[in-house]
């Protein structure tokens, strides 16, 4: 019973890991098409979220809890990155000459 549950969780996690490429692709399309900086930065922020979920799914698939540390680190750096990009965007928009 336990064995079958374990394998079920494993299978589901692998399936979801594959499925998570769909939002990943959508985000990548937005990241590439833009059209403004703001859109790209929003997409980048979203990308961090997807990376965190993928790390969590990888933790389930591999059974190694270190992946949770990876997820934590990714969330941390994603946040700092977003803050930095936002600061950049705020200053960058100076009127064109």
Note the residues at the interface with other proteins (CB under 8 A): 1-2, 5-6, 8-9, 12-13, 16, 19-20, 22-27, 29-30, 35-39, 41-43, 45-46, 49-50, 52-53, 56-57, 59-60, 65, 67-69, 71-72, 75-76, 79, 82-83, 85-90, 92-96
Residues 6+ apart with CB under 8 A from 95: none
Question: Least Å distance between CB 17 and other proteins?
Answer: 9
CB of 12 to other proteins, least distance (A): 5
My answer on whether omega of the bond before 35 falls inside 30° of 0, hence cis, is yes
The least CB distance from residue 42 to other proteins, in Å, is: 5
Mapped onto helix, strand or coil, the DSSP state of residue 96 is coil
């Amino acid at each position: 019973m336990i064995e079958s549950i374990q394998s079920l969780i494993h299978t589901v996690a692998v399936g979801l890991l594959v499925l998570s490429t769909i939002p990943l692709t959508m985000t990548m399309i937005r990241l590439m098409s833009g059209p403004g900086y703001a859109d790209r930065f929003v997409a980048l922020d979203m990308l961090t979220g997807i990376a965190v979920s993928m790390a969590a799914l990888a933790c389930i698939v591999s059974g190694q809890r270190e992946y949770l540390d990876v997820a934590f680190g990714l969330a941390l750096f994603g946040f700092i990155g977003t803050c930095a990009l936002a600061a950049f965007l705020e200053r960058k928009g100076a009127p064109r000459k």
